[in-house]
A = this chain, B = another copy of it.
Amino acid sequence: MDNAAYIVFTPSGRRGRFDIGTPVLECARRLGVDLDSVCGGRGLCGRCQVLVGEGEFAKHGISSSAQCLGQITEAEKKYADWKGLKPGRRLSCNARLLQDVVIDVPPESQVHRQIVRKRAEARNIEIEPVIKSYYVEVEKPDIHHPSGDFQRLEQALKREWDVELHDTDLYVLRTMQDALREGDWKVTAAVRHSLGRYDEIIGLWSGVITQLYGLAIDVGTTTVSCQLVDLTSGEVLSVAGAMNPQIRFGEDLMSRVSYVMTQPESVAEMTNALRDCLNGLIVETSIEAGIDKKYIVEVVLVGNPIMHHLTLGLNPSELGVAPFALVTNAAVKVYAEDDLGLDICLGSRAYFLPCIAGHVGADAAAVVLSESPHLSQEITLVVDVGTNAELILGNRERLLAASSPTGPAFEGAEISSGQRAAPGAIERLRINPDTLEPTYKVIGCDLWSDENDFDEAIASTGVTGICGSGIIEVIGEMYLAGILSAKGVIDGGLAEHCARIKADGSTFSYLIRGGEPEIKIIQSDVRAIQLAKGALYAGARLLMDRLGIDKVDRVSLAGAFGSHIDPKYAMLLGMIPDCPIDKVSAAGNAAGTGARIALLNKKSRTEIETLVKQIEKVETAVEPAFQQHFIKSIAIPHESDAFPNLSRIVKLPKKESTQIIKESGGLSRRQQRKLKQAEIQS
């Protein structure tokens, strides 16, 4: 046996021959294996854990860790006592190459691991945050060779990690003396490696700090949500949400802008209110995750253009009137504490994703990052529905963006029985086409209304209204059941056969549930939904015209509303263009996911900054074609060339005769509807 041995690392497959006794971490470094370390090989951080792999050498019976990598060292025992070490695991800085061996680097020991997302079409997130922590042992001051604390720290980072600092924030200087002396000159520095900028220390703590955290914050008009993310594993440790406190200045965006127009000094008030809210969420998520918020070192923010401005203390008045000029459409990079007042690690920065245009915000940019239409050949329509619907259409060759003025109907506002998505709100509904009887489910209860124990199950909340996704189903089912015409008129002729259809002035209503409150759909509710979905569809059509296409390959429904609606009803109502139903998917909180991607992967920031410049912005407000599409889109689509996939999902009642039909004088629901359609088409 000579004085060297082979080592093979999996999963990378990198291999080499090194002197017997070489630390495994050193072998990995020299082979360029992706193996993490914060403490620089001192056996303190536990980030370089490896295990002896099941490779070809294992066949020869070589599998004992002690045999291949030497006896467990004191440092490893100490680490195992302190933090625990799984069976078979070794700290690669302490383990030494003694004979030919296969070493397995588990995912959590890799620096550039990937987060695999569940949805097949969603791209994985590669972890490469702007911040990395480095443990160093700094030289003590020497009266014979005077130098600043910072300069000796700088030298240690250069010597041990080859990190070249430029200068540093005053914050860090102010805490540096204590950190160095309390830690007996052994400290962990959080270094910010932003692209195209100098590296700089943004936080410094005594001892070994292996876990740093970041926040992905979505500032919505109504709610603000905050994810606390582990920057090493990429894991979301906790999530908290709160009402946007700016609501007291105006429920919706435009009323907040109007408020600012009359009282410009309210910008600071609104920004301060939001700051307090964000600090509350920071405390909440930190407590839930059991971490100290001083280790939160980076923040990513997303929001619509007006929330973007009001978060940053920029006056949003210009966004309320044409030409809807943003202060900036570049990403905004600020100090989390100084500029935004966030109470986290003092030197940390906040990154607000770029807005796409005056009506298409950083939230839409985040949705693009999450859904990545620019990486696909398929023409994808991404729809994020809120008070405005933000639309992205295109593929890797070309991407367009627009905003459609849907109004708040999809959020349950302007609907007589509408309400926010909250326990007690109807979220699912089916109408028996024969009896016109509804059955429904409410948020907070797993039972349908016709199941036993439903009344008991909902006793605490009651049934209080219909949320946005519920309304879509109600309208869709009313249409399928023949209660609604394609033009959206509630058929008063049914009133004599069904007690749920009642005259309501010159129009009619459909009663879903009696009692207090009475839950029903009135004619103006249908109109509000028609206008909203018409605007949404018209926006999509406008973008399709621009792109010169008639159909889309895929539709991604982003946001809370998009996640809760059944794609079938979205297409039935004609909210979205026709598309194979299995290609319509809910993207969940895509804006939040996009924020998390920007938090975890620094290259994604450059990617979205570049992309946002290339996206073609279409302003619906000044496009005559938008109005034309809108007028054509108000009716509920019926069998037409534009919706070849619709008939595959709309299952009309098979039974032609029911009690009610008989009573109505022989015409089936289907026949009645066909008649009405003929009427419209003429």
Chain A interface residues (CB < 8 Å from chain B): 141-151, 167-168, 170, 173-174, 176-177, 312-315, 318, 322-335, 338-339, 355, 357-358, 617, 619, 621-622
Q: Tell me whether B170 and A329 are in contact (CB under 8 A).
A: no
Residues of B contacting A312 in the complex (Cβ-Cβ under 8 angstroms): 170, 173-174
Q: Once bound together, how far apart are the Cα atoms of A318 and B176, in whole Å? A: 12
Q: Is the CB of A151 within 8 A of B314?
A: no
CA distance A108 to B358 in the complex (A): 45
| Given A170-B312, A314-B173, CB of A619 within 8 Å of CB of B146 | yes
Name the distance in Å between A614's Cβ and chain B's nearest Cβ: 13
Is the contact region of chain A dominated by helix, strand, or loop, or is it mixed? loop
Residue among B146, B619, B621, B622 making CB contact with A357, cutoff 8 Å: B146
**Known contacts A141-B325, A170-B313; A617 and B146 CB within 8 A of each other:** yes
How far, in angstroms, from A174 to B271 measured CA to CA in the complex?
Answer: 12
Given A167-B330, A174-B313, do A325 and B617 touch, yes or no (CB 8 Å)?
no
Residues of B within 8 A of A150 (CB): 327-330
Q: Which 4 A-B pairs have the closest CB atoms?
A: A141-B325, A143-B323, A150-B328, A148-B329
| CB neighbours of A330 from chain B (8 A) | 148, 150-151, 167
> A6 to B241, alpha carbons, bound, how many Å?
73
Chain B residues positioned under 8 Å from A332 (CB to CB): 167, 170, 173
Say whether B174 contacts A314, CB under 8 Å: yes
**Chain B: minimal CB distance from A161 (Å):** 19
From B174, B177, B323, B328, A173 is in contact (CB under 8 Å) with B328
Indicate which residue in B143, B177, B619 contacts A619 across the interface (CB closer than 8 Å). Answer: B143
Q: Could you tell me the distance between the alpha carbons of A326 and B180 in the complex, rounded to whole angstroms?
A: 13
Residues of B within 8 A of A326 (CB): 146-149
Q: Shortest Cβ distance from A199 into chain B, in angstroms?
A: 14
Give me 18 other A-B pairs in contact (C-beta within 8 A), A150-B328, A170-B313 excluded: A141-B325, A143-B622, A144-B622, A145-B617, A146-B323, A146-B324, A146-B617, A148-B327, A151-B329, A170-B312, A170-B332, A170-B339, A173-B328, A174-B314, A176-B327, A177-B314, A177-B327, A335-B338
Which residues from chain B contact A334 at a C-beta distance below 8 Å?
Answer: 170
Q: From known contacts A148-B330, A177-B327, infer whether A322 and B170 are also in contact, taking CB-CB under 8 Å.
A: no
